[in-house]
Amino acid sequence: MEEELLNTLDTNLSFIVEISTLNLIQIGLKYGVFKEMIGRKCYTDFLLSSAVKNKSLLKSLVDTYYALGIVEMGLNDAWVKEYSYTLELTSEKNRYLLPDWIPIFEEIYRMVDYASISPEHPKILMDFDKDSDFWDMRLGVQLNSIYRRLINQIGELKDGMKVLDLGCGSVSPVEIGEVVGPNGEYVGVDFSPGLLSIAEQKVRNLGFDWVTLKELDITRIKPRRIYDAVIMSFVLEYVQDIPTVIRNALNALHEGGKIIIVDPFRENYPNIEAWEFFERLTKEFIHFPSKEEVIKAFDYNGYDVKIREFGKSILSIELL
């Protein structure tokens, strides 16, 4: 069962990157970016003359093309290279691909049209508070439930355990809180009051009085209690200081406790920069972390830990 879930998670995350790459190429064609960059052209002149009004978005777009090898850049100029891209839809992929995340990413793709006009356009629905309903929908798709099931299995979570969830969002308090059960304790921390408000309503309706939610920046938490497990799922891409967050998580664990980290570690996903372009519509987004920088953060903090990898997107860290 665990292997099936891991294959489902990794296959769908890989496909998100592939679809993002195709969408990114389509954007370049739609806005005439590639046509304008035929032959060497002064980069600054190109940015100023382009019809795209949002110049920071345009720069991010061209920088992403450079990262993908579509555009070459010199000291002061830039130009389009010869480029080909192949997406393979195999029977193995079809076995694991899930359909319900597709409409979410189609909506995000459409938001780029509005972002090209202004970064503050009201139809960009990527703000954690202003657009918390959209984020709640996104967090509730089957793909995200898959990684929460993996967290439960890999973390060996069960009724009676104490769990700290850093960056809990609006759905994990229900799905993971239910596993922890009335004899345990689930503490969810998030910096978004909008998502926490949705989560609070859900747990209140279900009567999950063992679930506690706190509005905090996870880089600033000072754990006063000890937990059996600490969870960080799709949160490190919003963190500037990963070693500090790792230290806070380690300080919250008892000996033998586990940290479960879920993220599309960038060295495992070629062309992940394409996905990152779309995620930057959320102003807090930095970049998806590498597995190496996460592991280095544990070395930096000097704790004795056992690290295990599960698929391409999950690390389990046991405090020895």
Report the chain (320 residues): mean pLDDT per 10 consecutive residues.
94 97 96 89 88 94 96 90 90 94 97 96 96 97 97 97 97 97 96 97 97 93 91 97 93 95 98 98 97 91 90 96
pLDDT for 284 equals: 96
Give the burial string for 180-213 (b: 16+ CB within 10 Å, else e): bbeebbbbbbbbbebbbebbbebbeeeebebbbb
DSSP string for 22-35 = HHHHHHHHHTTHHH
**How much is the pLDDT for 224?**
83
Q: What is the pLDDT of residue 39?
A: 84
How far from chain centre, in Å, is Cα 309?
A: 18
Cβ-Cβ contacts under 8 Å for 11 (sequence gap 6 or more): 92, 93, 96, 97
Rounded distance between C-alpha atoms, residue 28 and residue 22, angstroms: 10
pLDDT at 75: 86
Q: Give SS3 for 265.
A: coil
Look at residue 290 in the predicted model and tell me its pLDDT: 97
State the pLDDT at residue 219: 87
pLDDT of residue 220: 87
Say if residues 254 and 207 touch (Cβ distance below 8 Å): no
